[in-house]
Amino acid sequence: MVFDYLEGAADDESGLRHNRSAFDKLQFLPRRLSDVSTREQSVPLLGQQIPLPLVIAPTGLNSAFWPKGDLALARAAGKAGIPFALSTASNMSIEEVAKGADGELWFQLYVVHRNLAKSLVNRARSARYSTLILTTDVAVNGFRRRDLRNGFAMPFKASARAAVDGLSHSRWLWSYLMNGMPELKNFATDDASDTASQAAILRRQMDASFS
């Protein structure tokens, strides 16, 4: 179910196929007989020079892939000298990631109601995130058939199918049991200490009327 979440897309996944075939059409244009004895991959990006033309894009639920996945990605990005973007739907909080990683951090915000947006942006700012990404293509969640079939949601839905899936991936299951159910930590409060309440806050706060 985790693989399907990472690899899958909405409805009949034709958007994913179109994207792949568009990327397949791109090719390098070889330029011969130029001096490539010194090669340089660094590029200017938003006012600074980064060593690779890459940024780690925001992905929600990184702990489903790897325990403390947000931090692992932030540290790897820091080591490579490139920015890491933390998702609104991260499993570690804005502050936890900032505390554990020393590279450049960006924060991704969904279009949510103003007060929540303000509070998340202020938290990111105080925790030294340098750049804000506003994601405007998720007014409502896509109809992801694989996830619905697998019961992949926050929190995971227990079912015979999920149990068989977990048992046939014992390493994943072990790390999952050792690290506990991934939470949407940016929404954790005394009143929302479990994943279901945190996910409900995010769902309620999405502002589909924004234009």
Ligand X SMILES: Cc1cc2nc3c(=O)[nH]c(=O)nc-3n(C[C@H](O)[C@H](O)[C@H](O)COP(=O)(O)O)c2cc1C
The answer to whether the peptide bond before residue 155 is cis (omega within 30 degrees of 0) is: yes
| 63 is an interface residue for ligand X by CB under 6 A | no
* Binding of ligand X by 58 (CB under 6 A): yes
**In 3D, which of 153, 154, 150, 142 has the Cα closest to residue 188?**
154
Binding window for ligand X (CB under 6 A); candidates: 29-37, 40-48, 58-66, 184-192: 58-66
Q: In Å, how far are 106, 115, 169 from 148, measured between CA atoms?
A: 30, 31, 20
Q: Which two tokens stand for residue 7?
A: 């690899």
57, 139, 164, 196: residue in contact with ligand X (rule CB under 6 A): 57
Contact 28, 166 (CB under 8 A): no
The site for ligand X, by CB under 6 A, has a size of: 10
Q: In this chain, which stretch among 51-59, 71-79, 192-200, 201-209 interacts with ligand X, using CB under 6 A?
A: 51-59
- Selected from 63, 87, 186, 195, the binder of ligand X by CB under 6 A is 87
For the record, the structure tokens of 25 come out as 């059409």
Q: Among residues 50, 60, 86, 183, which is the contact residue for ligand X, using CB under 6 A?
A: 60
